[in-house]
Each structure stands twice: as C-alpha cells, then as structure tokens.
Amino acid sequence: MPGLSRRWAGALFGTNTGNIYCELAGEDVELKVRLRVMDQLFGLVLYEGYGSFDGSNFRFTAKPIQADPNVKTAPIRASGELNSKGSIAGDWESELGTGGTFLLHPHDSATVGETANELTETLHTENRPLGAIRLFRSDFHELVAAIRKDFKVGQLFITFSDRKSLRTMPLEQFLEASKNLATIDYLRLNVQEKETTNLNRIAVVELNSKGGSAILVQGGQESWVRGEADFLKSVVDRGLTRTITSIKKFGLNVNGLLLLVGIAALPELTFGRRLGFLAILFVIMAVIMQLHKAFVSNAKIFMNEERPRSLQVYSEQAISVVIATVAGTLAAAAYGALSGKLSLALGALAGFFTPNP
C-alpha cells in the first residue's frame, strides 16, 4: 500500500464522540478494514469491513461484530480525504441515522518517529471560580452559543440532576428532556475536540448548588485558553447573584467580618472571656455555613420557558441576608454579655419605655 499507512488512530465527532483505532490490510483497491471505536457513552464497538484508497480519497463500509449487548449498533460507511499533513479527515454515517465527522492520523512506526517532536506540546489549563449563579432557559441558550463559537466540531454533553441522580446526554437530547424540569440544582457542560495530533481542546462549565461552581478550559495555545476562560466566565456571570455571593462565600465574607469584630473587641475582655468569645464566634460561623448549605443554593437553573416569579428567584437572597444579620446580632450580643455592657444597654432600653412617675 504505497503512500497509505496500515495503522491509524484518531477521533470521532458528531452524534457520537470517542476515539478510533483503524487497521488496514490488503491492496489499495480492496482494503480489509478493522475498526475499534471507544464511544464516550456506549463503550467499545468493534467493526470489520472493506474499503478502497485511490491516492487521495479513502472510503470504507463496516459491520459491527462486537459491542455491549445493551447498545444498539448498525453498519457504518465513511469517506475521507488524505491531506497534506498525512491525516485523513472526512464524514461518517450509520444505518441508524447517526453521523458526523472523523479525523485519523497515521501510526505506523515510521510515521510515529516523524511526529515524535509533536509529543512535546504543552497543555495549558485555566480555572475560573464562580459565585452564586441563577440562570434561566434563555441564559442557558446563550451559554451554549458562546461555547459553540470555538467548538464547532466536538459534541456538547450535558450532565444534570434529575430526581436525586445525575444523567448525561448530548445537548439535543437534553433540550428535549429539560422541558419537563422546572429547576436544576446541578449542571455540567462538557465539550472537547481535536486541536492537534496530540492535544484536545476542552471546556467545562460546572454549576453546583451544594458545592463550588467553576469553569475549566484546556488547550495547546495559552492565549486562547485564557481568553476562552474569561469569555465563558463573563457569559455565566450575567446570572451572578451578588448578594448571596458576597455574604456566603466571596468578597464581603460574614465569617471574616465576625473575626474582625472579635479581634477589635478583645482588648476590653479578660483573657478567659476572650477565649469564650472566640469559641462563640466559631460556633456561629459553623452554624452560618450549615444554614447556607441547607437553605441557600450556590447555583440554580430555571429551565421553564417562562421566567419564574420574583419571590421564587429572590427568596434565597433574603434568606442569606437574614442569616448574616442574625449572625452579626448574636455576635454583638455575645460580646455585650461577656463585657457586661449588654445588661446596661437593656436597662437603658427598658428605662426609655418606662413612664416617668
């Protein structure tokens, strides 16, 4: 087979996404094809068939001979062009109606040696933490469009919470399933596609009501990775709830404020009472964290076509403010009791409401 390698490896995109390993045997006009596909969702499927190569175009058809019994498979056919870099890029489709694109790179010993210098490519990673996020269905569509700007080939997968379990499916299937979901407490958007022979571009947006939310971007070009991470964060931040973000975890931190109040007040207390005041502060801090975990979501996605009522959207902000206010009041009361000033303040207040004789 002059000009065509016998072993190829690459990736599959479209309705199915995964890795490919292809072995060829025979003459160019009648090639025996053995194909291994590792699908990201459905696992390994082994195909065998026949194809041909005319010097520039590679075509083949193959039938599945091995797969998980619970996975539905069908014969496939594909066609691709050999490009100037020695790779084959083209389209594939199956009798089930699925289809997409593929990219194969030669992996014979000679070609592997020729591309050994590419293995030194660097993978750059950027993380962007997120605050408390509230997104509506229209915001979700904007986020998907933003991801699609730089990921036109890779398939976008959505992982989401549904009745206390997590489900993962392609975007198109999720859009249909989400019509029956009023709100989602966990949402993860994950997409990747080939950037070079050895590197994949990856973008992940994770929104978690009970944990940290963040954006992760990986790729071979550092400037692109940073720019993409900042761009996606700017899109998600349109749904930022600044009140909860400030009070709960970021910026104006209630725990930090309590510690500052404690430090400022300590000189007026005896050593023993200082320790008691610090112990009270730590208890209040622990209670604050538990109350926020129980009653205030770090992320919530409203998937109804209509925007929910204001009470449903902003009730958690009010709860967060109430928690912070009560915590500050308890800390002040604890200090007043330990310093002996609380009884004086209460006495003055009682005297204000007592009528003069």
Interval 38-53: pLDDT, tens: 988 888 999 999 999 8
Please name which of 336, 253, 343, 264 lies closest in space to residue 289, comparing C-alpha atoms.
Answer: 253
Give the model's confidence band at 245: pLDDT under 50 very low, under 70 low, under 90 confident, else very high.
very low
Residue 155 contacts residue 169 (beta carbons within 8 Å): no
What is the Cα–Cα distance from 151 to 104, expressed in whole angstroms? Answer: 19
Between these two residues, 265 and 66, which has the higher pLDDT value? 66
User: Is the model's pLDDT at 327 over the cut of 60?
Assistant: yes
For the stretch 185-231, pLDDT in tens is: 889 999 988 887 677 889 999 998 877 789 999 988 888 899 999 99
- Taking the CA atoms of the chain, what radius of gyration do you get in angstroms? 30
- 243 pLDDT more than 80: no
State yes or no: pLDDT of 73 exceeds 70: yes
What is the distance between the alpha carbons of residues 300 and 283, in angstroms, rounded to a whole number? 28
Pair of tokens at residue 113 = 């040696």
Has this prediction a pTM greater than 0.95? Answer: no
Give the pLDDT confidence of 249-263 residue by residue, as tens digits. Answer: 433 455 555 555 555
Looking at residue 107, its pLDDT comes to 83
